[in-house]
Structure 1
Amino acid sequence: MLAAIEFDTLSYANELQKVGFTGQQAEVQAKTLKRIIDSNLAAKQDILMLQKEIAETKSALQKDIENNANAAKQDILMLQKEIAETKSALQKDIENNANAAKQDILMLQKEIAETKSALQKDIENNANAAKQDILMLQKEIAEIKGALQKEIAETKGALQKDIENNANAAKQDILMLQKEIAETKSALQKDIENNANAAKQDILMLQKEIAEIKGALQKEIAETKGGVIKWVAGMLLAQSAVIATLVKLL
């Protein structure tokens, strides 16, 4: 009978872990071996057989480890290939989205140019219409002035005849007529000034509306450009994050 063998399970478990065993597998293997040694007091032959089995087990485990390592390498190569393909697809998507954004910007610039041209035409038409109204008003004022001058001339001739017929009555009539003429002239001047002021107000209102329309269009253009840039920036950031995550998996 051989003396009892002191078997170091911890060292044995550590050795098993070095060759690829998990902690749990190494612990179970060590405890099992210790129970065998303690219960059977194995002879040298038994120990040799056990060492042989351990060597065979170690060899088999090493082969499994090599096979697993090769399989892991294949998986890594496949993953690298998938990452490369995904990266290429993402780059194509980025290019396509950038091209689409450029097309949208070009379309928007075209629409802005067309709108600007239409507004300029409207402004010119409104300005021409305002000019026509002013010319018509000036024409009416000139006609009224001519009619008044004619009427004054006719009245003056009639008054002169009345003066010849009745001097005192003529003087009174002349004074009254001069007063009426002055009031009529004053009223006409006020009407002319009111019409001129109204025309100026209309022109100022038209200029204000044109300025507001122009400001609103500029604001809308700025907001549209900002939205497109933010969208493109968001897409680029999202795609960059995806690429960074895939690169980390390498």
Structure 2
Amino acid sequence: MTESRLVRQIAHALRHERERAGLTQQALADRAGLSQAAIARIERGDRLPSLTTTERLLTALGRQLRIEVEPLDSHLDAALDEAATADLNERLTNFKLDRLVDALGDLPYVLAGSTAALLQGAPIPVAAVEIAVRWRDSSTFTAFLERTYAQRWNARWEEWGGVRHEPEERGEHRWLTRHGELRARMVDELPEPIEVRHGGRTYPVEPLVQVEVTDRRAAELLRRHRQRLAAGTDEATRATGDTAGRAGGSAG
């Protein structure tokens, strides 16, 4: 799948509207005068359709295209704003951190990625529990996945299931278990963890400086968070200076 955010958005929108209309890919292809294979490639994000093709597809679904622009990376700002105002305990409960950690049992792991960053005080969005697991522990990890009736994420069809869940099999290391969603980074050796205590529990956590090296998405969010903090500090400094200047002028 391409890395373009626009391609992913168009793919998601077209698939959503097709499923909302209760149509199969073949039925939509027949209406729009395209092949089912072309529809599949577009919905997977393998290709960016032309505006003409996009309009044909949406017209066949009784919809139309509307284009808007927004500040660059505003989607990141919205995600950070939402994360900053949310209660940490509630967030940890929502993505079932403790349930998954308990279910992992004796499997050696370290909390990684955005999960590690959140536990170290970074107000960034987290959608799933993220861990680092050693390759040599993959059989133990597979046994955990079997116990929890895990379904693996099928990136080709953008749905859960349909692929073998063993980490040795090709595909994203992302599973939906009965305890919640889990994402893993398979490594030769676990990163040296730090211990983070929260709510009466202690978690083995990948240090924040290491997260920024190993997790591109988390690193991008952390950079954005720091930029916003710096911009806010600069704005506050300017406002203080302006106030002081006005006060000095009045006193004179």
TM range (shorter): under 0.3
Computing the radius of gyration from Cα coordinates, the structure with the larger value is 1
TM-score of the aligned structures, taking structure 1 as reference length? 0.24
Structure with higher helix content:
1
Higher relative contact order (CA 8 A, sep 6+): 1
The structure whose residues are more often strand, as a share, is 2
